[in-house]
Structure 1
Amino acid sequence: MRDNFGRNIDYMRVSITDRCNLRCRYCMPEGARWVPMSEILTYEQIIEICTEAAALGIRKLKVTGGEPLVRRGCPELIRRLKEIPGIQQVTMTTNGILLSQYMDELLRNGLDGVNISLDTLDRERYAWITGSDSLDEVLDSIMRALESGIKVKINSVLFGDEASDEWKSLVLMAKERNIDVRFIELMPIGYGKTFEPISNSRLMTMIRQLYPGIETDESVHGNGPAVYYKIPGFKGSIGFISPIHGKFCHQCNRLRLTSKGILKPCLCYGEGIDLKSVFERKGEKKDDIRRAIRQGIEMKPEGHCFEKKESITENKNMIQIGG
């Protein structure tokens, strides 16, 4: 289905929980509260919503959280999502701590790819960012995922002067491995507003100084807005997702479904469609769900306003939205 600006909306991010086993400072630090389980969508409701979304043209789903693997039954949900007619791809974003434990089951159930969040390879800084000494578990999960043959991407968010050299070790992860290392600009939402981001334009300048032969990678890597580059001699690629300094709204193809059932047309704005309320009504749900999804697509704005913080109307924290 196309929105009012001619963009083909074929991708939906589905948050299945706001809970997480980390406490990343820019996402959900200590003291942040979880949503009661009674307020989040059941798996059956998620399947119903995704089934109607697929009927309207959604072809790719990204399962997110919080941390999706902390919710019991997540691997089985992957299988059920893959079985929906019209769905061509189901991937997941995870912090990697539990991924190694569930890797075999996820593969059996058809997971097509995994994005692993990792902002640093420095053990002390990792513990400072996340509140957990779990770097070894994450690195083990990355290796398990690579060995399985599934498509693996690393998502890194750099912020603060202390991170000015973090990129060097992260970039090197793509040298000997067929892995995409992607740098995502920190968005001014929730706790993210309190930190100073490192722009990808600045980062690219630093990378080019060390690797002057870096060149554009035109191959297709996925469904999102990342721009990719290849460094000579590297097996993997380097990607940049730049919502602030490389606005890509003209090619936005996505919707976001929060764990509470709010369908968000744009990450920047607080407006959304309450799909969970549809299940509280009597009668046939199918048409109501489909009608609400159409409304969400029609609500998509032409662009976000992250470059103008005073215009941002989304007041929730990133973990409540689905990342």
Structure 2
Amino acid sequence: MPGPAARDAQASGSPLIDTHGRVHRDLRISLTDRCSLRCTYCMPEQGNEWLARTSILGLDEIERVARVAAASGITTFRLTGGEPLLRTDIVEVVRRLAAVSGPDGPVQIAMTTNGIRLREVLPQLIDAGLSRLNISLDTLRRDRFRDLTRRDRLDEVLDGIAAARDCGLRPLKINAVAMRGVNDDEIVDLVEFAIAHDAQMRFIEQMPLDAGHTWDRSRMVTRDEILAALSARFTLTPVPGRGGAPAEKWALEGGPHTVGVIASVTAPFCGDCDRLRLTADGQLRNCLFSTTEYDLLPILRAGEGDDAIDAMLRSCVHGKLPGHAINDPAFLQPARGMNAIGG
């Protein structure tokens, strides 16, 4: 029988603490597996098997899970995809979630987007309660963007970033996946672009999350290589106090601008991970690389109470492993691609 402390840790409304002592405060909510781009490291150009529309969580279902999660200490909801701006009800999703409160007060609503459609809807999103924004941009070159995303839409992305720069939401972050022979010669250019837009540039090591399972470690630009390229142009000073954030940060030339590196492969930060994920079809995941999912859809659609949602959240947290084991020879890539898991 578990002791009193263990029982209390599993009680409804108590913090979501896993067996390794990590307290979970961040829920990434994928709103769709569909995207307006076809990035080579994420999904094929054609032949994608989309989630059935009947399995996609509706607005009320998303809000219900969010309220249960917030009651147990989740303080940030990050909306992802696919591309979250493809949801026709995206503004109302933000409005509903921004009205959720937990023991420490209102939650924060963040979003990761490719920037397409952003100028069109950003004022409404801010009015609805959006508080933070990450925008993906892997290259500044039109030919590379077209080859990498299989779409000629760079102008729309850049226009979305300009709208974000002007809107006042801060911190504004721009994410790039660093790839050898693709964009590794643009590392400094991307940082200078971010500085000009009052944004923090963040470089992400390419991870084994493509739907085609074609990830090749040799094509990944490592954390050390990224820092070496940056150090040739900037003086880098480590920024302390990372906490559970995925990115290590360095001040550029003493600040105020910073650059981040998310090194999930060569410098894993699993020991401080405070994130859970909810896929667009109602699957809870305790790790980006997990091969196990916890199905909330039957609970949500069978009329079960909030206690059943809470119990599933706690089962998901309890089953979390100490790390993702990417560097273990026995590592298995998740069956789903990044677009179906959510960022």
Place the TM-score, normalised by the shorter chain, in its bin.
Answer: over 0.9
Q: Report what 1:79 is aligned to.
A: 95
Q: 1:57 aligns with which of 68, 73, 92?
A: 73
Cα deviation code 1:231-287 (max 9, x no counterpart): 1176521000110111100100000000011100111121011011112324x4211
The residue that corresponds to 2:289 in the other structure is 268
Q: Which moved more, 1:305-314 or 1:125-134?
A: 305-314
2:49 aligned with 1:27: no
Structure 2 residue identity aligned to 1:153: K
1:162 aligns to what SS in structure 2?
Answer: coil
Identity across the alignment (%): 36
The residue aligned with 2:56 is 40
Going from structure 1 to structure 2, the CA distance change for 1:48 and 1:70 (only over 3 Å counts) comes to: same
Say if 2:342 is the partner of 1:322: yes
**2:203 aligns to what SS in structure 1?**
strand
Name the structure 1 match of 2:246: 225
Separation in 1 of the partners of 2:309 and 2:143? 46
* 1:119 maps to which of 127, 138, 143: 138
Structure 1 residues 40-71: Cα deviation after superposition (integer angstroms, max 9, x where no partner):
11111111111111111111110000000011
Residue aligning to 2:10? none
Farther off after superposition, 229-238 or 199-208 = 229-238
Q: Give the counterpart letter for 1:61 in structure 2.
A: F
The answer to whether structure 1 residue 287 and structure 2 residue 313 are counterparts is no
Asked whether the equivalents of residues 112 and 135 of structure 2 are also in contact (C-alpha less than 8 Å), the reply is: yes
Structure 1 residues 71 and 309 mapped into 2: Cα distance closer, same or farther (>3 Å)? farther
The verdict on how the C-alpha distance between 1:80 and 1:125 changes in structure 2, with shifts beyond 3 A counting, is same
Select 1:140's aligned residue among 134, 159, 171.
159
For residue 202 of structure 1, what is the aligned residue in structure 2? 225
Matches within 5 A, 1:9-20: 9-20=24-35
User: CA RMSD of the aligned region, Å?
Assistant: 1.7
| Residue 194 of structure 1, CA deviation | 3.1
Residue ranges of structure 1 left out of the alignment (5+ in a row): none
Alignment match, 1:70: 86
Distance across 1 between alignment mates of 2:130 and 2:305: 28
TM-score, length of structure 1 as denominator length? 0.94
- Cα separation, partners in 2 of 1:313 and 1:277, compared to 1, 3 Å: farther
Alpha carbons of structure 1 residues 294 and 214: separation in structure 2 relative to 1, 3 Å: same
Q: Structure 1 residues 158, 71: CA separation in 2 closer, same or farther (over 3 Å shift)?
A: same
Offset, 1:9: 0.3
Query: Is 1:254 the equivalent of 2:270?
Result: no
TM-score by length of 2: 0.89
Letter in 2 for 1:55: A
Consecutive unaligned residues in structure 2, runs of 5 or more = 1-14
1: distance between equivalents of 2:325 and 2:246? Answer: 17
Q: Of 87, 106, 110, which residue of structure 2 is paired with 1:91? A: 110
Displacement after TM superposition at 1:26 (Å): 1.1
- The answer for the alignment partner of 1:176 in structure 2 is 196
Q: What is the identity, as a one-letter code, of the residue corresponding to 1:79?
A: R
CA distance in 1, matches of 2:255, 2:301: 53
Q: How many residues align?
A: 320
Q: Equivalents in 1 of 2:241, 2:257: separation in Å?
A: 12
SS at structure 1 position matched to 2:229: helix
8 Å contact 1:257–1:264 — kept in the other structure? yes
Change (3 A) 1:24 1:139: same
Amino acid at match of 1:238: V
SS at match of 2:330: helix
Offset from partner CA, 1:54-106 (integer Å, 9 cap, x none): 11111111000000001111011101001112242000000001111101100
Superposition misfits of 4+ residues, deviation over 4 angstroms: none
Residues 1:155 and 1:59: Cα distance change in structure 2 (over 3 Å) = same
Equivalents in 2 of 1:192, 1:322: separation in Å? 16
Report what 1:7 is aligned to: 22
Contact 1:244-1:307 at 8 Å conserved across structures: yes
Aligned residue type for 1:290? D
Secondary structure, in 3 states, of the residue corresponding to 1:229?
Answer: strand
How many Å separate the matches in 1 of 2:72 and 2:50? 32
1:188–1:309 contact (8 Å) kept in structure 2: no
